[in-house]
Amino acid sequence: MKSTNFRMVNKNVEINYDNNNKSKSIDEDDLQCEEFEETPLYAAVLTYISYAILCLFGWLRDFLRQSKIEKKRGAVDPNASLGFVPLYQSYESFYTRNMYTRVRDIFNRPIASVPGPQFELTERISDDYNWTYRYTGKTVSAINLGSYNYLGFAEKTGPCAIDTINGLKSYAIANCSTRSEIGTQRYHIELEQLVAEFLGVESCIAFGMGFATNALNIPVIASKGDLILSDEMNHISLILGMRLSGACYQTFEHNDMNDLEKKLRAAIVHGHSRTNRPWKKIIIVVEGVYSMEGSICRLPQLIELKKKYKAYLYMDEAHSIGAMGKSGRGIVDYFNVNSNDVDILMGTFTKSFGSAGGYIAGKKSLIDHIRVNSHAHTYASSMSAPIVQQIISSLQLLKGPEGQKRINQLADNARYFRRKLVDMGFIIYGNKYSPVVPMLLYMPARVTRFNREMLRRGIAVVTVGFPATKLLEARVRFCLSAAHTRQMLDAALEAIDEVGTDISLRYSTRHKPQRLKDL
């Protein structure tokens, strides 16, 4: 792994936030300052040894299963015994059956309440080492540090909930048709107009699923003969969209503008690798906030490069719209750049707006093209009234004093929480203004232990390991919300301090390890 610390100076960018009734001006080098501390050698060695031991025991258990000494607990395809080609290979995954299953209790936990700052988890117990579960009927109360409820709009009371219920009474749940047939209601048009106005662009189109917004619309704007340059940390929905498009795609190193420029130059000079013909068009695809890294794209430099080399820029703002910028308009607002300099603005309603779906915004000609050619628009059922009304209500609140209060609170929570973790000596990735705060755990046993110990202390967290991350980058990903109170964050920090001490998680060599009480 490499250690990076990106800085760029431009005194014309500023952010305003409320902290003890003060206003602060932050220059661009501060906005782009983020840190990825190198993995300590001893942690890397121990992690490799851990996985090696797990593999050895996995091979032993596979041998025992084949010898019928150990019972096979995985699903078995009954067609295979009848001479048919197996419909599915349920037992082909070595990792799933020997590693993931043993720790499955820390993943996919069902909840039994609104995913607010504090929520209820459904209690479940396994009698066969996580192959199956039984539910006790009880719930476990915990502080929620895993949901993407950035602005706290996932609520069952308040103006959004009231408007959503009224929308349900007026329009029912389903339209039973697609947008291109007779499934377009007045609230769909209102939503798209509101989003376009909020983002400061000509037009917008909304879809019922955030993942499909990327996966099914990138093929509409890219095709054979085009080149897509993608950040190596882009979400799978973007990657799937690139694959479906038929366009050629290459990755550039995460947030590395020098590497991107080299690839842009090579693409223009050499053209297609087989024919050497010029590319029809080049599209740069990035995310606003990278949900696994907590980092932020270098938007000012990206705009400069796309203009210099006449490329198009596609930016996924799933984790940044609503959560970043002084007005909540995402990374465009965060860097105070012109929204028209980003050719395709994509975002979702599933996070900051507490609803579901996604959007693409930009010039009217682009949106008209997508409206006619997108499978996500032509074949999918249109968004239901309660879903749309939740977005409309939260958007309207976002533009007023209540929205500004939530934006400021989220920014304050993110800075406070991240700073405390760094000062305690944990390795924290990403930008200090990001609402996503990844903390490195490295070893698989510590990933499992951390998750279970935190829940035992009343804190629900999301831990992520291989293959969702690189082998040496297993982590816990904290997602902060404007709804978190300082008392909740302090309770979480105390629990992290205790667990981090018990299982030795203070890996940082840049910051002296300290206990929370000593800060």
Rounded CA-CA distance 289/274 in Å is 35
Give CA–CA dist 292/235, Å, rounded.
9
What 3-state DSSP class applies to 20? coil
Strand partners, 250: 229
DSSP letters, 386-400, are HHHHHHHHHHHHHTS
Q: What is the pLDDT of residue 274?
A: 85
Question: For 243-252, b where at least 16 C-beta lie within 10 A, e where not — what string?
Answer: eebebbbebb
Residues near 93 by beta carbon (within 8 Å), at least 6 away in sequence: none
Of the CATH numbers 3.90.1150.10, 3.30.70.260, 2.170.150.20, 3.40.50.1360, which one belongs to the domain with range 35-144+403-518?
3.90.1150.10
Return per-residue pLDDT of the chain as tens, 519 residues.
444 443 333 333 334 444 444 344 456 667 777 888 999 999 999 999 999 999 999 999 989 988 888 887 776 667 767 778 877 666 567 888 888 888 999 999 999 999 999 999 999 999 988 889 999 999 999 999 999 999 999 999 999 999 999 999 999 999 999 999 999 999 999 999 999 999 999 999 999 999 999 999 999 999 999 999 999 999 999 999 999 999 999 999 999 999 999 999 999 999 988 888 999 999 999 999 999 999 999 999 999 999 999 999 999 999 999 999 999 999 999 999 999 999 999 999 999 999 999 999 999 999 999 999 999 999 999 999 999 999 999 999 999 999 999 999 999 999 999 999 999 999 999 998 999 999 999 999 999 999 999 999 999 999 999 888 999 999 999 999 999 999 999 999 999 999 999 999 999 999 899 999 998
Rounded to whole angstroms, the Cα distance separating 235 from 42 reads: 30
* Partners of 464 in beta bridges: 475
Q: Residue by residue, what is the 3-state secondary structure of 58-102? A: HHHHHHHHHCCCCCCCCCCCCCHHHCCCCCCCCCCCHHHHHHHHH
Q: In the chain, what are the domain boundaries?
A: 35-144+403-518, 159-399
pLDDT at 80: 67
**If DSSP codes are grouped into helix, strand and coil, which group holds residue 190?**
helix
Q: Which residues contact 181 (CB under 8 A, 6 or more apart)?
A: none
Q: Which of 460, 482, 180 is nearest to 354 (CA)?
A: 482
Looking at residue 253, what DSSP letter applies?
-
Task: Give the chain's count of helices (H) and strands (E).
Answer: 17, 16
Looking at residue 35, its pLDDT comes to: 81
Q: Tell me whether strands 459-460 and 134-144 are parallel, antiparallel or unpaired.
A: parallel
Amino acid identity, residue 188?
A: H
d(CA 84, CA 89): 13
Class of domain 159-399: alpha beta
For residue 30, the model assigns a pLDDT of: 72
